[in-house]
A and B are shown apart, each in its own frame.
Chain A
């Protein structure tokens, strides 16, 4: 199918394009930018007047909950949510049940996702069997099955010798290792940032040192092993500073932040709002400022939704017992735009952090609109306001700290492989 997207403002961070330009899609590829290729006859014309035409978003952390947690969400519901959010590729962490530690599970997930013909799914394999932190998984087999990286998700890996071996082994084959830094002893039972709010509310706390100690370990081992290390969900100012220093030193490290932590702080917990029970915990306003600045200056490579749909009943509990996590796929774009607007970051630079840069973390030739590249496209109205309401969300997860909030930026069309998979 030939599609002509006309009159839109085309933004492509990689090719430094930001201007009114038509886009021509032919057989799933970008066939022309600005000018139609010779003999192009459109089967479908999308009028993007007043809209922005950008690469489809790439989300580094979206829990689809399959296999094992279908009561929280299903592949079907979450893939629909992804394209409704303009997300055309997503990486899913291995903390399913069973964990993604067997090639068969990964193939099954890929197969089921492919049949839905929506966003592309890039599974992150388990770094250790069952995420138990003891034995390595068959990483090469898992990569053959479709894994793009290896991770412990939020499961602890306390044995530093196992961590060293895992990094050495992954480095042998140049497989990336994705880790969320958190010392499991310091974080034990903790549900909130160790600061004023946890003190006031009497909530068991997780100190910033839980992040920095684990991060120091990871960076030291990355330095020794030369592994491609990706740090997931950095949450503190001190952590951002360590990443900045590690990059300066030349350690091969990249880093992402959750959109929730880009906008919220411990103060949002208020009177025990379980929607603000998140992993990692929301930290202080000072930490949030450092995360926002780190994202702007490139210390933090990418912003992700950290999508973690949970079932409603699991949130209707006292704060500490409530299942952590929030739905996020449909909020990623407006929250990127909100951050960009508040921090006066150019739209193109902001979108790069949710398209081109996460593609690089994933090692994909994606997240851009070059001639001949795959036509994964997001067309959105940057001005449209909408109110986040649980019933309107496609995700089966209805809980988010942003419930009831008005956000600006609404996806109008999502194209994957040159096909319109979502439109309103």
Chain B
């Protein structure tokens, strides 16, 4: 089976998932992102013309202000024309199918789609459907993948830890419903992280998760012991009570990241979160705002990483 995100020369055609993404491409993206970080920080004019004249369509079938905005900023810094569409509340509710919507946008000469959808596999479906000169970036599909989030997390880890081959990384929280966790796991294993852990109650872990190459823990003290990086996951509101968890309070008691629990990690461990955070549910404010938190760096790096991905797909090949 062909990897649908690579073209026949093995170059990136779409970015749909971190699974099966060759390590050399991941490193290319991170290296390129480093150069864009300077664009944002070092210059008076925060723009480069790599995507000048290209049309980037932010097509969000599921609402997200934060991710959409970072993609928009990234595209604008590359001088692209950006169109934002929140489709969750318009066409599909009128009975138009996903691919009808895509066809219409193609007819408006889109060069790139940034897609978010509530269904796993939606970005793959679109990528299979569009003409070969159009690129698709998955900005989150159901529980499946959120590759740019995982790549910006990798960028952040590399920024603070330099290497991957000597790290112990723990992912904490609702892995079952998390596209971020899946993409992080594939990215971490691809980059050679020797030990990836997941920490969660059994109700929030998918079946056979260990086959993705992770070690499973149900206890924070054991799971966080001697880790270098703690990746927190967001707990969706609808999971906080019901059959998966009895209450947000009990979850916080067992799995919320506090200074006390973080003490089990290495002294120089960093704490990350994809946002938006539920303070007092999965993470204590003292940790979120504390010296080991690199959560705001993630946001900054996210723009550079998304610029890197977009320019790699649609810009002139460097």
Q: What B residues does A270 contact at CB under 8 A?
A: 1
Interface residues of A: mostly helix, strand, loop or mixed? loop
- For the complex formed, measure the closest distance between the CB of A401 and the CB atoms of chain B, giving whole angstroms: 13
Q: Least Cβ distance of B181 to chain A in Å?
A: 10
Query: Would you call B125 and A202 a contact (CB within 8 A)?
Result: no
A271 touches B4 (CB 8 A): yes
Contact B99 A316, beta carbon cutoff 8 Å: yes
Contacting pair B1 A194 (CB below 8 A): no
Count class of interface residues, chain B: 20 to 34
Query: Would A196 and B211 count as touching, CB distance under 8 A?
Result: yes
Asked if B120 and A320 make an inter-chain contact with CB atoms under 8 angstroms apart, the answer reads yes
The docked-state distance in angstroms from the alpha carbon of A274 to that of B129 is 13
Asked if B212 CB lies within 8 Å of chain A CBs, one says: yes
Q: How many A-B residue pairs have CB under 8 A?
A: 74
- Residues 9-27 of B, flagged 1 when their CB comes within 8 A of A and 0 if not, give 0000000000100000000
B178 nearest CB neighbor, chain A only: A202
Tell me which residues from 201 to 237 in chain A have a Cβ below 8 Å from any Cβ of chain B.
201-205, 207
B207 touching A207 by the CB < 8 A rule? Answer: yes
Residue of B nearest to A205 (CB): B207
Chain A residues touching B, range: 20 to 34
Q: Determine if B212 and A199 form an interchain contact, defined as CB atoms under 8 angstroms apart.
A: yes
Answer whether residue B168 sits at the interface, using C-beta atoms and an 8 A cutoff: no
Q: Which of A200, A316, A319 has the most CB of B within 10 A?
A: A200
B119 touching A321, Cβ below 8 Å = yes
Query: Nearest Cβ in chain B — how far from A320, in angstroms?
Result: 5
Q: Is the beta-carbon distance between A318 and B207 smaller than 8 angstroms?
A: no
Contact partners of B121 in chain A: CB under 8 A: 201, 203, 271-272, 318-320
Give the distance to chain B from A324, nearest Cβ to Cβ, in Å. 14
List, in ascending order, chain A residues with CB within 8 A of B124's CB: 271-272
Q: Mark out the residues of chain B between 120 and 174 whose CB falls within 8 Å of any chain A CB in the assembled complex.
A: 120-122, 124-125, 129, 141-145
Do B122 and A318 have beta carbons less than 8 Å apart?
yes
Q: Which of A202, A205, A317 has the most CB of B within 10 A?
A: A202
Residues 108-122 of B, flagged 1 when their CB comes within 8 A of A and 0 if not, give 000000000101111
**How far does the alpha carbon of A245 sit from the alpha carbon of B223 in the complex, in Å?**
43
A318 CB contacts on chain B under 8 angstroms: 98, 117, 119-122, 125, 141-142
Residue of B nearest to A194 (CB): B207
Task: Write the B189-231 contact mask toward A (1 if CB under 8 angstroms, else 0).
Answer: 0000000000000000011110110000000000000000000
Q: Which of A313-335 contact B (CB under 8 A)?
A: 313, 316-321
For the complex, give the distance between the alpha carbons of A305 and B262 in Å.
56
Select one of B1, B4, B98, B209 contacting A317, CB under 8 A: B98
CB of A195 within 8 A of chain B?
yes
What's the least CB distance linking B207 to chain A, in Å? 5
Tell me if B35 counts as interface (CB < 8 A to partner A). Answer: no
Rounded to whole angstroms, the CA-CA distance of A205 and B208 in the bound complex is: 12
Query: Once the chains bind, are B97 and A200 in contact (CB under 8 Å)?
Result: no
User: Can you give 23 A-B contacts (C-beta < 8 A)?
Assistant: A194-B207, A195-B208, A196-B208, A199-B207, A199-B208, A199-B209, A199-B212, A200-B182, A202-B143, A202-B179, A271-B1, A271-B4, A271-B124, A272-B121, A313-B97, A316-B97, A318-B98, A318-B119, A318-B122, A318-B125, A319-B125, A320-B120, A321-B119
**Apart from A198-B207, A319-B120, what 10 extra A-B contacts exist at CB < 8 Å?**
A195-B208, A199-B208, A201-B120, A201-B144, A202-B142, A202-B179, A202-B182, A271-B124, A318-B120, A319-B125
